[in-house]
Amino acid sequence: MTQDFNTARAILEANDRGGYTVPNGRVYPFQWNWDSAFVALGFDTFDRDRAWIEIESLFRAQWPGGFVPHIVFWQEDEGYFPGPGVWDSGRTPPTSGITQPPVAATIVRKLWESALAAGQADAYQARAEALFDGLLAWHRWFADHRDPGGHGVVVAMHPWETGRDNSPEWDAPGESIDVSNVGDYVRRDTGHLDAKMRPTKLEYDRYLALVQFGRAAGWDHPAIARSNPFQVADVGMSMILLRANRDLLALAQALGRDGDEIAAWIARAEAGIHYLWDGERRTWCSRDLRTGRSSGYVTSASFLSFYAGLRDPQSDEAMLAHFDRIAGRVRYMVPSLDPDDPGFQMIRYWRGPVWAVVNWMIGHGLAEAGHRARAERVRSDTLALIRDTGFYEAFSPLDGSGSGGDDFSWTAAIALAWQTPG
């Protein structure tokens, strides 16, 4: 059934909880970090003030030291697991103790430029200044606590931090996680969704063991970074942060703020991010810090190098060759895992399905790098999936069937933001 894009606005309004938006009320009843950033893109197409409020509500939960959590528990929901009592962060409002991909600076820049284009700079100047300060503190937290090797990358301490929860990139690094004391628990996700779409029990055991490790450390992030059993330089977060720092620098310049610190972070990443290039597989991918091994996987995150603003003829040629090969294997781009990989599963979360928000980043990156036809393929495939299937969390790249939750906020937001080229 063809979907009316007016439905996208209705989904955002239905998932609005008065200042923050839930991804999907049945499965994810709280505020998620990078979800809210993308949601703001959608709100900005019809309610500029509400778009700003979405980001501002997230930053009201920022910790001292700059950390921004991946979940904010604004209200009780006893049916969700793991809830605030499991995280035990000691914060008000209650939050999780891990972060998520730092896409917010990129979105705030877009919101600011949208306000400028509408002649409303005066109305949003003070709000942009306040968000800039929060974003700067968060990016400084990444630089200080998540880049021990000085490569300009982001070292994830939990698969949930990457936003790509069960990517096969985390399988080998997760083998050393002790799950013997996890205990019994009841998952909410598999109570609402088909288990074959979701992470396995072993994967979930590992997720909870890492939560227990962080909680036992009192969510002391420097201490966790020194001894956490999972430490992976994530290609997705690293590319997103590099792009976000470029956008934060542009904001600094627009607001008349000092950008030297941000420029130094960008220079460090441009000099060191090749640490994530796998010369044998000829792809950008994550690397396990504890073993030094590259994952070797071609995932949708691998194509974020264009979004990050990296320009290298050899690596670009290799990634475009991967893109074209994969485009010939699937009906809809971009699958979250190479369909030629033996572990590819077309509807299991981050082991195959297409995600609209990742496509939005890939598409914009390809367009900015001058690869317009490939960018348009990504954009048109994404909109076709939404029109023909609905506003699902993710989609099969082979037949377009929906995966995960329906009436999903960030999918609706991308539909609104991406109805026209550019």
Token pair 């297409």 is at which residue?
354
What is the average pLDDT across 234-246?
98
Rounded to the nearest 5 degrees, what angle is found at the Cα of 10, between the Cα atoms of 367 and 379? 15
Q: What percent of the chain has pLDDT over 90?
A: 90
Distances (CA, A) of 43 to 236, 391, 417: 25, 16, 9
What is the average pLDDT across 231-235?
98
Q: If you average pLDDT over every residue of the chain, what do you get?
A: 95
Q: Does the structure show a pLDDT above 90 at 134? A: yes
Between CA 361 and CA 99 the distance in angstroms is: 19
| Domain annotation covers residue 422 | no
What is the average pLDDT across 135-146?
98
- CB-CB contact of 249 with 199 (8 Å): no
| Domain annotation covers residue 59 | yes
113 is known as an active-site residue: no
Q: What percent of the chain has pLDDT over 70?
A: 96
393 is known as an active-site residue: yes
- The residue annotated as part of the active site, out of 147, 234, 288, 393, is 393
Both tokens of residue 235?
A: 């290609």
Domain range for 28 is 6-417
| Domain annotation covers residue 201 | yes
| Domain annotation covers residue 307 | yes
| Domain annotation covers residue 170 | yes
What CATH number has the domain bearing residue 102?
1.50.10.10
- The residue annotated as part of the active site, out of 13, 77, 88, 165, is 165
What is the average pLDDT across 18-26?
93
Tens digit of each residue's pLDDT (9 = 90 or more) over 369-420? 999 999 999 999 999 999 999 999 999 999 999 999 999 999 999 999 998 5
Residue 179 or 3, more confident: 179
- CB-CB contact of 174 with 199 (8 Å): no
Reduced to 3 states (helix: H, G, I; strand: E, B; else coil), residue 277 is strand
What is the average pLDDT across 258-286?
98
Q: Does the structure show a pLDDT above 90 at 133? A: yes
Q: What are phi and psi of 107, to 5 degrees?
A: -70, -40
Count structural domains, the chain: 1
| Domain annotation covers residue 388 | yes
pLDDT at 1: 39
Q: Does the structure show a pLDDT above 50 at 347? A: yes
| Domain annotation covers residue 130 | yes
| Domain annotation covers residue 356 | yes
The lowest-confidence range among 14-18, 32-36, 179-183 is 179-183
